[in-house]
Chain A
Amino acid sequence: MQKITADMLIEKAVSLLEAGTISRVLGWKKGEFDYDVTPYVFADAESLKKDFVFDDFCGANFSKYLVAETRKAEGKVLVFLKPCDTYSFNQLLTEHRFDREAVYAVGIPCEGMADINKIKEITGDGISSLTSKGDKIVVDTIYDGEKEVDFASVLAERCVSCKSKKHVAYDELMGDEGDITDSARFDEVAQLEAMTEDERFAFWQSQLSKCIRCNACRDICPACTCEKCVFENPESPVENKAISDSFEEKMFHIIRAFHVAGRCTDCGECSRVCPQNIPLHLLNRKFIKDINSFYGEYQAGAEVGSRAPLVDYTTEDIEPGEAVMKGEGENA
């Protein structure tokens, strides 16, 4: 469970509201069940005390909301940022997507977030309540009564392979600062690289054919903040609305991943929201892994103003032919 509690965050938010430092709070709002929280802008202490939550299900990355929210009203908006969110925050600043002065960022520690689908795989459907207790989550269901699951076993994929517990941006930090973690986040990519071309093709064919082009991956993505997406722009050669041919599902995901390559912070929101459970993060991680291997370690969002690898070069860069071989894991 989280080391920091909703009450602590509410207290912080209320005191900042009262001090006039901020005019509103971007936070998580209690849902219908114990796991379906919604991003919400709280304007006063009363609503915070009533509906603000922070628990093991508050995975939503708020960085992207700042693009619209900072334009909406006067005064600063308070945003609570988990370590991974701060990378997106910086990347958006690098791309001039919102005014830093309009935000009051409070860094909060994160113990990883739970994946409700993983819980349901263990407990089955019909969940009536969820309670975090130390390293367990107590799940009450209408069918089988209370069950305990290990928090560690139901961590979301992106939290299992958490890249950093360290905040790279904030005005104020609550709790203890963590470190950049030694994650095994590229293992899955490496496994795919180790397959044959045919196997990889079969894998992705089966995954991408599930795509329904709901655009949730794009719309949640903090790197996708285009005024108008190329896939929606009638002037663009790739505009399309549906997957009418298996080509289009590949094109959509290749172009999308390419557009965020070097800018993607690997926050994992795309895979979290995919209603078809396509492991979209693997596409982004492939680019990140290649970038690291071809051009040296680069973490998007680690610092504001850094030059993304695709808008940079050295005269000694690897040649595409060699790169493809290296990317296939022949370096391994």
Chain B
Amino acid sequence: MQRIGVFVCWCGSNIAGTVDVQAVSDALAHEPGVVHSANYQYMCSQAGQNLIKEAIEEHKLTGIVVCSCSPRMHEATFRKTAAAAGLNPYMVEIANIREQCSWVHKDMATGTEKAIILGKAAVAKVNLNAPLTPGESPVTKRALVIGGGIAGIQTALDIADAGFPVDIVETKPTIGGKMAQLDKTFPTLDCAACILTPKMVDVAQNENIRIFSYSEVTDIKGFVGNFDVTIKKRARYVKEDICTGCGLCTEKCPMKNVPNEFNLGMDNRRAIYIPFAQAVPKVATIDPEHCNMLKNGKCGVCAKVCAAGAIDYKQQDEYISEKYGAIVAATGFNPISMDKFDEYAYSQSKDVITSLEFERLTNAAGPSSGHLVCPSDGRHPHTIVFVQCVGSRCASCSEKGKEYCSKICCMYTAKHAMLTRDKYPDTEVYVFYIDVRTPGKNFDEFYRRAAEEYGVKYIKGMVGKVSPENGKLHVQASDLLADKQLHIEADLVVLAAAIEPDKSARPLATMLTASMDTNDFFTEAHPKLRPVESPTAGVFLSGACQGPKDIPETVSQAGAAAAKVIGLLAKDKLTGNPCVANSNELMCNGCSSCERVCPYGAITYVDKEFRMPDRTTKVRRVASVNEAVCQGCGACTVACPSGAMDLKGFATKQIIAEVDAICK
């Protein structure tokens, strides 16, 4: 049985004006468990708090009910008061007799009666309260960033700057991501490589950062502060620590016809290659699918020419296990496949290209050394048609494209169009759009410059069909504003393909027990207030894996994610919310209902041996709650049919006691 003290606050006249506080404290004095009941002008004042502290000592109170303002105001205050007097802070309950009583009821009699009932409910609850102690767990002071694009790079640099070790895992042989493939960046038109590659070098030189390139995460266990991650370092058949990146091997390799993915297959590389000149790490990689030595054991040219002796045909995949306190997902995006959009003749003509391919075509380091040419025959294009929203905003054709707006296409198309007109004023440039969306600093000005100063022909309407005819591209389109059909003979058609999350995101989310939306973008913990956190504690989101973003937005989110990670890693221990779910293993069926509704992945299952009443033992699958991860929403408690799952601080019994007290 508890020894409960009741403290009724007048809140000056805020409560006492409509509630007979003396009557309330008198009435509650007779409730079961109550051994002391008092009222005072301002309970939250130092004097009021002292009153509580003294009563706790004098009456050896085990629980406290404060009838006062909303718990949102002073629950924390009174919990501290109780703790100061040696009482567990979770033995305090507040009866909200101000906001939900005296302030909304005018009449003293009704106000007093309701206040007594609310007090009784709180007393009934405290009678069933148990002291709660927040769980503590240590924090591994190391972060993992999955994805080495600009998002991952920025996050890693920021975390490393704060003094915490960071590992970047990147599936490609080099970090840099999509930004490395870009030519110029909107709206300032600075060269992407000029602003990205110094950051890549920073990463390489930062003592706190390790790069696992050509690697992938294969397993994640654990929880916030304590993740156990397995990283698979794929064999690149080149000793990373020995290779100097001189590039001789990539010139001597006899396998010349391997499509170069960095240039989106528009030119070729060798079987041993370095994706681009500023790659980090600048180390060669052998593509086992095309290397004759690895396939047939015949060749070995690269090994012969490598002065450093870095080539190792016998290299194996390596698995690395590491502990992390925080994980940042920065898996980025890809343009969607154009397979389902054959009306634009992408598969039929080399001169129909995606915007990313266009970037490579205009990039000085690209397949045409920066000369804008038609990929089919290398001629200079005189008419270019840009098609926007290819696969974006496809509400009606969701099996074909995406329902969402890919956000970046309007701006990069404006950039492409402007740059083309700037460099090749003789080229006619058409842009077909549904809407031009330019919300961003200096964005609309940029777009207007393209249209107004550079004479880019913006046409509201969609391209219906592109047909290759006599070496040209016949573009059929509609101009909605002029309400007419257009026929354009184009040399080049550029498709602003929608972007989608990288395919690696879904399996990663499964490993992280992080949630995703239907488009496979990671879901944030709160769309407004916690936009860089996943609902799964200790998992953070950076860049386009959370939703389409341009570079400045990505970089700011990357910094924000880093700040959250630093905030986490700066702690020696994590103290949790003690009001967490707990499973009674004797009752648990192991049916997985709770696990399925848990937004945080806080529930796992273990096989446990139970001694049965008939003296046999039985191994059963039972739920186990990770208190460091559980946030205490209680979804699991209702999903559980056997009632095995309960919530500390809001236990079924406690809520029922409140219901009973209120309904008396």
**A→B interface (CB under 8 Å):** 71, 94-97, 225-230, 233, 235-237, 259-260, 307-308, 310-312
B639 close to A310 (CB less than 8 A): yes
Residues of A within 8 A of B597 (CB): 311
Interface residues of B in 601-623 (CB under 8 A from A): 605, 618, 620-621
Q: Is B652 an interface residue (CB 8 A)?
A: yes
Q: 13 more A-B contacts (CB under 8 A) besides A95-B589, A233-B587?
A: A94-B592, A95-B592, A96-B605, A226-B642, A227-B620, A227-B642, A229-B642, A230-B641, A233-B642, A236-B652, A259-B641, A260-B641, A312-B596
A273–chain B nearest beta-carbon distance, Å: 20
A226-B641 contact in complex given A95-B591, A96-B592, A311-B596, C-beta closer than 8 Å:
yes
A97 close to B591 (CB less than 8 A): yes
Task: Give the complex CA separation of A259 and B656 in angstroms.
Answer: 19
Task: Give the complex CA separation of A273 and B202 in angstroms.
Answer: 74
Give the residue of B588, B590, B593, B620 whose beta carbon is less than 8 angstroms from that of A311.
Answer: B593
Residues of A within 8 A of B621 (CB): 96
Interface residues of B in 234-264 (CB under 8 A from A): none
Q: Is B643 an interface residue (CB 8 A)?
A: yes
Residues of B within 8 A of A236 (CB): 643, 652
Residues of B within 8 A of A307 (CB): 596
A228-B593 contact in complex given A235-B653, A237-B652, C-beta closer than 8 Å:
no
Residues of A within 8 A of B652 (CB): 236-237
Task: Give the complex CA separation of A310 and B592 in angstroms.
Answer: 12
A227 close to B643 (CB less than 8 A): no
Most buried by A among B621, B641, B642: B641
7 smallest CB-CB distances across A and B, nearest first, come from: A226-B642, A95-B591, A311-B596, A259-B641, A237-B656, A230-B643, A311-B597
Task: Give the complex CA separation of A95 and B592 in angstroms.
Answer: 6
B642 close to A228 (CB less than 8 A): yes
B560–chain A nearest beta-carbon distance, Å: 25
A233-B643 contact in complex given A96-B621, A226-B587, A228-B587, C-beta closer than 8 Å:
yes
Residues of A within 8 A of B653 (CB): 235, 237
A305–chain B nearest beta-carbon distance, Å: 9
B639 close to A227 (CB less than 8 A): no
Q: Is B586 an interface residue (CB 8 A)?
A: yes
Task: Give the complex CA separation of A71 and B614 in angstroms.
Answer: 15
Residues of A within 8 A of B596 (CB): 307-308, 311-312
A227 close to B591 (CB less than 8 A): no
The 8 A CB mask of B571-596 against A (1 = contact, 0 = none) is 00000000000001011111111001
A226 close to B656 (CB less than 8 A): no
Task: Give the complex CA separation of A189 and B656 in angstroms.
Answer: 32
Residues of A within 8 A of B592 (CB): 94-96
Task: Give the complex CA separation of A225 and B597 in angstroms.
Answer: 20
B587 close to A227 (CB less than 8 A): yes
Residues of A within 8 A of B642 (CB): 226-230, 233
Residues of B within 8 A of A228 (CB): 586-587, 642
A257–chain B nearest beta-carbon distance, Å: 11
A311 close to B586 (CB less than 8 A): no
Q: Which residue of A lies closest to B517 (CB)?
A: A315
Task: Give the complex CA separation of A95 and B593 in angstroms.
Answer: 8
Q: Which residue of B lies closest to A262 (CB)?
A: B593
Residues of B within 8 A of A311 (CB): 593, 596-597, 639
Task: Give the complex CA separation of A37 and B147 in angstroms.
Answer: 64
Task: Give the complex CA separation of A312 and B618 in angstroms.
Answer: 31
Task: Give the complex CA separation of A92 and B184 in angstroms.
Answer: 58
Task: Give the complex CA separation of A308 and B653 in angstroms.
Answer: 27
Residues of A within 8 A of B588 (CB): 227
Task: Give the complex CA separation of A160 and B588 in angstroms.
Answer: 36
Task: Give the complex CA separation of A225 and B593 in angstroms.
Answer: 13
Task: Give the complex CA separation of A44 and B633 in angstroms.
Answer: 53
Task: Give the complex CA separation of A260 and B589 in angstroms.
Answer: 14
B471–chain A nearest beta-carbon distance, Å: 49
A226-B618 contact in complex given A235-B653, A237-B656, A311-B597, C-beta closer than 8 Å:
no
Residues of A within 8 A of B586 (CB): 227-228
A40–chain B nearest beta-carbon distance, Å: 21
Q: Which residue of A lies closest to B590 (CB)?
A: A96
B529–chain A nearest beta-carbon distance, Å: 18
B643 close to A308 (CB less than 8 A): no
Task: Give the complex CA separation of A71 and B618 in angstroms.
Answer: 8
A84–chain B nearest beta-carbon distance, Å: 21
Residues of A within 8 A of B618 (CB): 71
A–B complex contacts, Cβ < 8 Å, 19 sampled: A95-B593, A96-B590, A96-B592, A225-B589, A226-B587, A226-B589, A226-B641, A226-B642, A227-B586, A227-B589, A227-B642, A230-B642, A230-B643, A235-B584, A237-B652, A308-B596, A311-B593, A311-B597, A311-B639
A313–chain B nearest beta-carbon distance, Å: 9
Task: Give the complex CA separation of A229 and B587 in angstroms.
Answer: 8
B646–chain A nearest beta-carbon distance, Å: 9
Residues of A within 8 A of B639 (CB): 310-311
Task: Give the complex CA separation of A237 and B658 in angstroms.
Answer: 12
Task: Give the complex CA separation of A241 and B593 in angstroms.
Answer: 26
B124–chain A nearest beta-carbon distance, Å: 13
B593 close to A308 (CB less than 8 A): yes
Residues of B within 8 A of A312 (CB): 596
The 8 A CB mask of B639-662 against A (1 = contact, 0 = none) is 101111000000011001000000
Task: Give the complex CA separation of A230 and B586 in angstroms.
Answer: 13
B132–chain A nearest beta-carbon distance, Å: 18
Residues of B within 8 A of A229 (CB): 642
Task: Give the complex CA separation of A251 and B620 in angstroms.
Answer: 30
A228–chain B nearest beta-carbon distance, Å: 5
Q: Which residue of A lies closest to B652 (CB)?
A: A237
Task: Give the complex CA separation of A103 and B621 in angstroms.
Answer: 18
The 8 A CB mask of B493-511 against A (1 = contact, 0 = none) is 0000000000000000000
Task: Give the complex CA separation of A235 and B652 in angstroms.
Answer: 9
B641 close to A96 (CB less than 8 A): no
A92–chain B nearest beta-carbon distance, Å: 9
Task: Give the complex CA separation of A97 and B622 in angstroms.
Answer: 11
Residues of A within 8 A of B587 (CB): 226-228, 233
Task: Give the complex CA separation of A237 and B656 in angstroms.
Answer: 7
Task: Give the complex CA separation of A307 and B592 in angstroms.
Answer: 10
Task: Give the complex CA separation of A260 and B641 in angstroms.
Answer: 8
Residues of B within 8 A of A97 (CB): 589-591
A34–chain B nearest beta-carbon distance, Å: 36
Q: Which residue of B lies closest to A260 (CB)?
A: B641
A235 close to B643 (CB less than 8 A): yes
Task: Give the complex CA separation of A307 and B596 in angstroms.
Answer: 8
Task: Give the complex CA separation of A137 and B593 in angstroms.
Answer: 45
A96 close to B656 (CB less than 8 A): no
Most buried by A among B593, B596, B642, B644: B642
Residues of A within 8 A of B591 (CB): 95-97, 225
A53–chain B nearest beta-carbon distance, Å: 31
B523–chain A nearest beta-carbon distance, Å: 11
Task: Give the complex CA separation of A325 and B656 in angstroms.
Answer: 29
A154–chain B nearest beta-carbon distance, Å: 35
Residues of B within 8 A of A96 (CB): 590-592, 605, 621
Task: Give the complex CA separation of A78 and B547 in angstroms.
Answer: 51
A265–chain B nearest beta-carbon distance, Å: 15
A56–chain B nearest beta-carbon distance, Å: 34
B181–chain A nearest beta-carbon distance, Å: 35
Q: Which residue of B lies closest to A226 (CB)?
A: B642
A231–chain B nearest beta-carbon distance, Å: 10
Task: Give the complex CA separation of A94 and B589 in angstroms.
Answer: 12
A113–chain B nearest beta-carbon distance, Å: 28
Task: Give the complex CA separation of A38 and B639 in angstroms.
Answer: 34
Task: Give the complex CA separation of A235 and B589 in angstroms.
Answer: 17
Residues of B within 8 A of A226 (CB): 587, 589, 641-642
Residues of A within 8 A of B605 (CB): 96
Q: Which residue of A lies closest to B585 (CB)?
A: A227
A330–chain B nearest beta-carbon distance, Å: 27
